[in-house]
A and B are shown apart, each in its own frame.
Chain A
Amino acid sequence: MKDNLESLLKEYLQRDAQSTTRRHFIKNCAQGVGGLALSSIFMGCDPLVSPKKKTTMTFSERDLNPLATLAPPFSPKVKSVIYLHMAGAPSQLEMFDHKPELLKLDGQDCPQSLLEGKKFAFIKGTPKLLGPQAKFKQEGESGNWVSNFMPHFKKVVDDVAFLKAVHTDQFNHGPAQLFMHTGSARLGRPSIGAWATYGLGSENQNLPGFVVLTSGGNTPDAGKSVWGSGFLPSVYQGVQCRSKGDPVLYLEDPEGVSRNLKKNTIEAINTINKAEYAKYADPEILARINQYEMAYRMQIAVPEVMNINDEPETIKQMYGVEPGEESFANNCLLARKLVEDGVRFVQLFDWGWDTHGNIREGSIDLGLRNKCREIDRPITALILDLKQRGLLDETLIVWGGEFGRTPMQENRGNKKMAYKGRDHHGDAFTMWMAGGGIKKGASHGKTDDIGFSGIEGRVSVHDVHATILHLLGFDHEQFTYQFQGRPFRLTDVEGEVIKEILA
């Protein structure tokens, strides 16, 4: 496998220019994809009907199509979001937060002053400090620090803005993931992707507006609620697209049913539903007609977008994909394809970052290094690929975990553990963002000498949410949903936009 991502990219661009790309995908319209006889009076697909004419109906387009595109109240910096969540919580101290002082203190008892009044998930008594297990270098023009666990990432370090002092008050996976994605550690709130889809709809009516891709063998600890719709209508919840079996549940036609037969079936259903509408004048019937058409189109559009086999070899190599497998690299390439096709919010969860040191895979030196290897290349490729397609400016990439890890070595059960590991830690950890509206090469926030707490530029989970919403064109304080007699918002009663990382 070629290791130079930039040369692969160049190679791809040359070939791409030679052959006309088969980017025939029609984003919003049914024509061309099966061509249903009843084709969409609703979607504005009929070129003879101007968008204004279709508003002669008395109900809004949203009633017919809850994913109809809406403009945000303010001018947005990005159209789509790709959120990369490393489930289990990656160690900032081995990746981005360079702490030479911690190396000097390696093996010494953690000062009591740091432990007073603190609660940890597993650390008992007085733990010892654990020096960084990776080597750091300043990279790019920004001179931001990147560890040798992420060798490719230095190529894009000038594209990202680091948040070095993010904090959360949750230090167990489930609640912390919920907090990171719904703004509340308790269940029942909509996820950020659901908010975005509710507020903006989808640019592509043949694909779900909010797609979730998982890797690492497990779904996130907090379950499907991290992409749930909470009290928002369930149409805004994330749709998990799977690498094995149907990419979307029940997408495939039953055995023995041809496309033609499915088309006939949907036409018969919709003819009868139209007759029903004449009798009952219930707009829900029109909505259902529309949904059946959309389902038919999704059956083609989803497998097409989920198929990475037909991507050029150079692109596949650049990401390091493994077709047919469930992998983070595949998901990164899919994420690009999805935002390219107008999907609003793409959420990647990669499981396996919980490096306590109780097993080899969960060790901070060996296990973490392998996990970094799994993401380093694909993430770098994703940023480069979006950039060369001119999509990085209209996409926001967010990277992070649900919390960080302790500068102390874990001592579960008050014993020395089999491998080197770090416990959960919410006081300070690193996240980064890249893409439209983001100040390239910025680094905001600073932790103390051992990386225990933020000492400058601390930002909360609510601040991160406020910033994402801001880039999508929302004032997080005004973007509300009325429920149980009061307006709810993603950021509850907190959150400030992190201006320091905005361009």
Chain B
Amino acid sequence: MKKYVLIVGVRLLSVCLGILLIQSCESSERVDFSTQIKPILNNKCITCHGGIKKNAGFSLLFEEEAFADTESGKPAIIRGDASGSELIRRIKENDLELRMPYEKPKLSDAEIELLTRWIDQGAEWGEHWAYSLPDKVEPPVFSQEASFTSISSKKFVQNSIDNFVAARLESEQLTPNAPAEKNTIARRVALDLTGLPPNSKIFNAFVSGDLSYENLIDSLLSDQSYGEKWASWWLDMARYSDTKGYEKDQGRSIYEYRDWVIKALNRDMPYDQFTVEQLAGDLLPEPSVDQLIATAFHRNTMNNDEGGTDDEEYRVASVIDRVNTTFEVWQSTTMGCVQCHSHPYDPFKHKEYYNLMAFFDNTRDEDMPSEAPVLKFYSPEQQQTVDRINAWVAQYGSKKTTKQYQDFLLYNEPVYNSHHLKDIQNGSYDDHASTVLWDEGTARFENVSSERATALYLKYNAGISGTTITFRKNSSQGEILGQTRINKTKGSIIRKIPFQKVDEKFDLYIETNNDGVAKEVNIINLYWVALLDELPGKEKYGYASINNSLLQVLNSHTPTVPIMIENPDHMKRTTQVFERGSWLTKTDTVLPNTPKTLNAWNDDWPKNRLGLSQWIVSKNNPLTARTLVNRVWHQIFGRGLVATIEDIGSQSEPPSHPALLDWMALRLMNEHNWSIKSLIKEIVMSGTYRQSSENNPELYQKDPNNELYARGPRIRLSAEQIRDQALAVSGLLSSKMYGHGVMPPQPEGIWQTVYSNAKWIESKGEDRYRRAVYTYMKRTSPYPSFMSFDGGSREVCSIRRTVTNTPLQALVTLNDPVYLEASHELAKAMQVSENPEENISLGYEKATYTKITPVKLEALRELYENSLEEFKNENTNEPFFHLEKKPSAELAALTIVANAIMNLDEFLTKA
């Protein structure tokens, strides 16, 4: 018996060995779905068998679809049986009518072999790396082998980042550059951290050795200009602008949000908190004013005031923009296409888009010209009154009433806007702002829930006195719930009238009457009504005064900022799937939910924007930390570890250093506790960053995009940096922070927006010289020189500015009066000696932080001399550079030289 078992065992063993032998001969390696199979499916199959088209009922987007029965009644892939799988048969087919990919070149033998082996091995479906949590990896430890000796001898390794980079360099047999010179690295890191060249004090201290590199970084990170620099990066994604966009493109007061971003970055607010406050600050318990301002992130959507547009259409457009932007900013995922159909490549289903939309579909904003809801900023005196009213309500009213009044005073919500009025008779909706009613005008708000309100607030404007407005329950025959007389007003006002309690949902029926006017005469413009509890404490001493104060502050005009406010439960919208993305064709009702492919939902989270933001910053989310690390890396190196910084998913480029990406992502969450400054510091402390960016044709050939980091970054500066640097080196830059957008000089006639009398009014004094981040941003007509240097129009979320190199850029820095003024100021500072060469050298050094070489000095000296000769021969009254008084020939010639210096590639580039 035992013997028998043994024989069988031996036989089995030999069979196994045989299989192993055969397999090893035929490349028995296990096929990896994610890296070997998915790319073939995505590139060759999924266009016709994916999220958009499912030809022959076959799709390769999701596992369950790939193995399901196709239209033929059989699955196309049979696990473990490649030869029995239709998929393999069809890719090998000789009949062109049957061969897949249809009407495309045949797959390569290697691809066919891979697919065959994968199916024979059981066709194990895998998850794309981007949707799995980052791997816990240790930085590679390297031996002291030959090639590493040179790496170590160059003092390349400064922190763990370099271990990852060195490992890849070693495998590619490349040696990193030597560290950059001190002056070069100081300029580079200052531009990267603060957007400005270093100030002379800090620069000299560092170059002389009094300040260590780490201390240099710490002081740059603690400089206020750090927040201004990195805000530009964030504001592109937030689509921040000082106008509303679309046709009329009227101004929008939202600079408080821009300032919030600068302050949050300077305080190094942890990224998880930074995220939650912007996406859902209003839903935090007792949100602070700052947390409410943060929610303006999603009020940067455009607002359409064009005549004849449907507010609901553009409200929906904003909600869609919020879904798309949230996923682009935090998840490196393009959700836009899922609006119409399942994602063509990534595992997101059509319906999941609307699950996400349901999170955003319940805010109070409704594409109103007023941009309501807006947060009011009261003056200190007004605030005292507001506090007194709130204290009164708290003393005499219920908790519910207290909350109602606090909110209503802060942002005038919730209200029923007049574009919801139905069945308007003798009147009409007056395009966006209000409903106009005439004598015998009627209209109604459907399905109102008054929450047993006892006061009705209404906002209106009346050009005529003697109108009666009556509010009834349900219809013209219904009980009168409130009634008041309307007299002529100066502009629009907010009034309060008593209101009868109603327990159930009803239609609020409105009548207007005025016997003293002819037909079709506008007697009232009604903007909105709000149903609240009556101000409590009616019988108490001081009521009349509080009541007066209440109406006074409600009618006060204050600075504002648009914010996100959630609908109360009784006003909640239901979200439906849009068939093929059209908001007019609604189908199934959906509830808020997150895509299945990503991290699981935690039931402790509320099913609203707050929960969604917690889901995003959960350590189980595979994309949030990777996205941030990748984008910060891109800001510094000009290239992401995943080069497609917009997209980390099945169509993205594979990471150049996958382990480094994961290591940094985990470190950001677990060790840096989401500190952006710590992340940046770690990157710029690395030897990888600190290398010289010098290059040679061989290295360029081998690694044109600097994907391997055998040299330091060399990138043209951004639109903002180019302006700020010119102002900084010429001494013109103002350090004033925050506030309204400013209007530095721009050519005449740039703003020509229809139906708008907005004007570019050139700023005076130091406001002409503010940092670029404070320049007034008009969407339909952005600041022209920023546009030339690839700044965007901020209409939609922009993750990347593609860097271009054009003649129009040369014209800006050569001829724009802003740059002319800067070169003249620089020239004045250069005029220190009788010897022009000294002056030129000084100017060059001030601008580039580098000592001039003889070749360059010669070129500039020649330019100086030619200019001097020309100016000496000229009439001195001839105007020069838009200056009031023509400078001496020497200074004019130096100005020409300074202008040339400010146009050098090395000046416009961070190297």
Name A's B-contacting residues (CB within 8 A): 58-59, 66, 119-122, 124, 171-174, 186-188, 208, 214, 217-219, 221-225, 228, 231-235, 239, 242, 244-246, 248-258, 260-262, 264-265, 267-269, 271-273, 275-276, 279-285, 287-288, 291-292, 294-295, 298-299, 351, 413-415, 423-424, 483-486, 493
A234 to B779, CA, bound (A): 16
A260 to B317, CA, bound (A): 54
Residue contact B307 to A248, C-beta cutoff 8 Å:
no
Residue contact B815 to A223, C-beta cutoff 8 Å:
no
Which residue on A lies nearest to B431, using beta carbons?
A122
Residue contact A253 to B815, C-beta cutoff 8 Å:
yes
| A256 touching B334 in the complex, CB below 8 Å, given contacts A225-B795, A295-B807 | no
Query: A66, A261, A269 — which one has the most chain B CB atoms within 10 A of its CB?
Result: A269
Residue contact B862 to A268, C-beta cutoff 8 Å:
yes
A sample of 11 cross-chain residue pairs with beta-carbon separation below 8 angstroms, ordered by A number, consists of A187-B795, A224-B782, A249-B784, A250-B811, A250-B812, A254-B815, A257-B896, A272-B906, A276-B904, A484-B334, A485-B346
Residues from chain A with a CB closer than 8 A to the CB of B428 are 124, 413-414
A423 to B804, CA, bound (A): 42
Residues from chain B with a CB closer than 8 A to the CB of A119 are 310
Which of B271-279, B502-510, B688-696 forms contacts with chain A? B688-696
Residues from chain B with a CB closer than 8 A to the CB of A171 are 308
Contacts beyond the supplied A173-B306, A295-B808: 15 A-B pairs with Cβ under 8 Å: A174-B304, A219-B780, A222-B247, A223-B753, A223-B780, A250-B784, A250-B785, A254-B815, A267-B863, A269-B900, A273-B905, A275-B856, A282-B700, A298-B811, A486-B337
- Closest CB of chain B to A439's CB: distance in Å? 30
Query: B752, B814, B860, B906 — which one has the most chain A CB atoms within 10 A of its CB?
Result: B814
- Closest CB of chain B to A201's CB: distance in Å? 13
Which residue on B lies nearest to A255, using beta carbons?
B879
Residue contact A272 to B899, C-beta cutoff 8 Å:
no
Residue contact B754 to A291, C-beta cutoff 8 Å:
no
Residue contact B859 to A272, C-beta cutoff 8 Å:
yes
Residues from chain B with a CB closer than 8 A to the CB of A248 are 808, 811
Residue contact B701 to A258, C-beta cutoff 8 Å:
no
Pick the residue among B436, B646, B747, B904 that contacts A483 (CB under 8 A): B646
Pick the residue among A222, A255, A261, A268 that contacts B870 (CB under 8 A): A261
| A235 touching B806 in the complex, CB below 8 Å, given contacts A218-B753, A253-B815, A272-B859 | yes
A265 to B864, CA, bound (A): 9
A174 to B314, CA, bound (A): 12
- Closest CB of chain B to A374's CB: distance in Å? 18
Interface residue B716 (Cβ < 8 Å from any Cβ of A): yes
Residue contact B904 to A284, C-beta cutoff 8 Å:
no
| A223 touching B695 in the complex, CB below 8 Å, given contacts A248-B808, A285-B905 | no
A122 to B430, CA, bound (A): 10
| A287 touching B308 in the complex, CB below 8 Å, given contacts A254-B820, A281-B700 | no
Residue contact B904 to A228, C-beta cutoff 8 Å:
no
Query: B245, B807, B863, B899 — which one has the most chain A CB atoms within 10 A of its CB?
Result: B807
Interface residue B796 (Cβ < 8 Å from any Cβ of A): yes
| A221 touching B649 in the complex, CB below 8 Å, given contacts A234-B802, A250-B811, A254-B820 | no
Residue contact A172 to B308, C-beta cutoff 8 Å:
yes
| A486 touching B309 in the complex, CB below 8 Å, given contacts A186-B317, A294-B807, A414-B428 | no
Which residues in chain B, 394-434, are within 8 Å of chain A measured between CB atoms?
428, 430-431
Interface residue B911 (Cβ < 8 Å from any Cβ of A): yes
Pick the residue among A173, A249, A255, A288 that contacts B882 (CB under 8 A): A255
Residues from chain B with a CB closer than 8 A to the CB of A234 are 787, 790, 802, 804, 806
Interface residue B678 (Cβ < 8 Å from any Cβ of A): no
Residue contact B806 to A265, C-beta cutoff 8 Å:
no
| A265 touching B747 in the complex, CB below 8 Å, given contacts A119-B310, A248-B811 | no
Which residue on A lies nearest to B430, using beta carbons?
A413
Interface residue B256 (Cβ < 8 Å from any Cβ of A): no
Interface residue B866 (Cβ < 8 Å from any Cβ of A): yes
Residues from chain B with a CB closer than 8 A to the CB of A232 are 802
| A281 touching B863 in the complex, CB below 8 Å, given contacts A218-B754, A239-B808, A265-B899 | no
Residue contact B793 to A228, C-beta cutoff 8 Å:
yes
Residues from chain B with a CB closer than 8 A to the CB of A275 are 853, 855-856
Residue contact B784 to A276, C-beta cutoff 8 Å:
no
Query: A245, A260, A271 — which one has the most chain B CB atoms within 10 A of its CB?
Result: A271
Residues from chain A with a CB closer than 8 A to the CB of B809 are 291
Residue contact A221 to B812, C-beta cutoff 8 Å:
no
A483 to B651, CA, bound (A): 10
Query: A246, A276, A281 — which one has the most chain B CB atoms within 10 A of its CB?
Result: A281
A108 to B805, CA, bound (A): 60
Which residue on A lies nearest to B243, using beta carbons?
A223
A223 to B250, CA, bound (A): 12
A284 to B520, CA, bound (A): 67
A276 to B905, CA, bound (A): 8
A239 to B430, CA, bound (A): 38
How would residues 618 to 653 of chain B score, 1 for a CB under 8 Å from any chain A CB and 0 otherwise? 000000000000000000000000001011011110
Residues from chain A with a CB closer than 8 A to the CB of B811 are 248-251, 295, 298-299
A275 to B859, CA, bound (A): 11
Interface residue B227 (Cβ < 8 Å from any Cβ of A): no
- Closest CB of chain B to A416's CB: distance in Å? 9
Pick the residue among A124, A174, A280 that contacts B911 (CB under 8 A): A280
5 shortest A-B CB distances, which residue pairs?
A223-B780, A121-B308, A256-B880, A485-B651, A295-B810
Residues from chain B with a CB closer than 8 A to the CB of A186 are 317, 796
Which residue on B lies nearest to A275, using beta carbons?
B855
Residue contact B870 to A258, C-beta cutoff 8 Å:
yes
| A413 touching B804 in the complex, CB below 8 Å, given contacts A173-B306, A351-B754, A483-B646 | no
Residue contact A484 to B647, C-beta cutoff 8 Å:
yes
Residue contact B307 to A122, C-beta cutoff 8 Å:
yes
| A413 touching B436 in the complex, CB below 8 Å, given contacts A66-B804, A261-B867, A275-B853 | yes
- Closest CB of chain A to B486's CB: distance in Å? 20
Pick the residue among B781, B812, B814 that contacts A224 (CB under 8 A): B781
Which residue on A lies nearest to B796, using beta carbons?
A188
Pick the residue among A122, A268, A288 that contacts B863 (CB under 8 A): A268
Residue contact B815 to A252, C-beta cutoff 8 Å:
yes
How would residues 730 to 762 of chain B score, 1 for a CB under 8 Å from any chain A CB and 0 otherwise? 000000000000000001110011100000000
Interface residue B345 (Cβ < 8 Å from any Cβ of A): yes
Residues from chain B with a CB closer than 8 A to the CB of A253 are 815
Residue contact A486 to B870, C-beta cutoff 8 Å:
no
Which residues in chain B, 879-908, are within 8 Å of chain A measured between CB atoms?
879-882, 886, 892, 896, 899-900, 903-906, 908
Interface residue B657 (Cβ < 8 Å from any Cβ of A): no
Residues from chain B with a CB closer than 8 A to the CB of A258 are 870
Residues from chain B with a CB closer than 8 A to the CB of A122 are 307-308, 431
Residues from chain B with a CB closer than 8 A to the CB of A485 are 334, 345-346, 644, 646-647, 649-652
A235 to B805, CA, bound (A): 8
- Closest CB of chain B to A451's CB: distance in Å? 20
Query: B247, B782, B886 — which one has the most chain A CB atoms within 10 A of its CB?
Result: B247
- Closest CB of chain A to B403's CB: distance in Å? 38
Interface residue B52 (Cβ < 8 Å from any Cβ of A): yes
Residue contact B806 to A271, C-beta cutoff 8 Å:
no
Query: B428, B716, B781, B806 — which one has the most chain A CB atoms within 10 A of its CB?
Result: B806
Which residue on A lies nearest to B711, using beta carbons?
A280
Which residue on B lies nearest to A252, using beta carbons?
B815
| A291 touching B810 in the complex, CB below 8 Å, given contacts A187-B796, A254-B881, A485-B345 | yes
Pick the residue among B697, B856, B881 that contacts A272 (CB under 8 A): B856
Pick the residue among A58, A174, A233, A239 that contacts B700 (CB under 8 A): A58
A208 to B809, CA, bound (A): 13
Residues from chain A with a CB closer than 8 A to the CB of B699 are 281
| A256 touching B695 in the complex, CB below 8 Å, given contacts A483-B646, A485-B644 | no
Which residue on B lies nearest to A293, using beta carbons?
B807
Which residue on B lies nearest to A188, using beta carbons?
B796
Which residue on A lies nearest to B304, using beta carbons?
A174
Residue contact A295 to B814, C-beta cutoff 8 Å:
yes
Which residue on B lies nearest to A483, using beta carbons?
B646
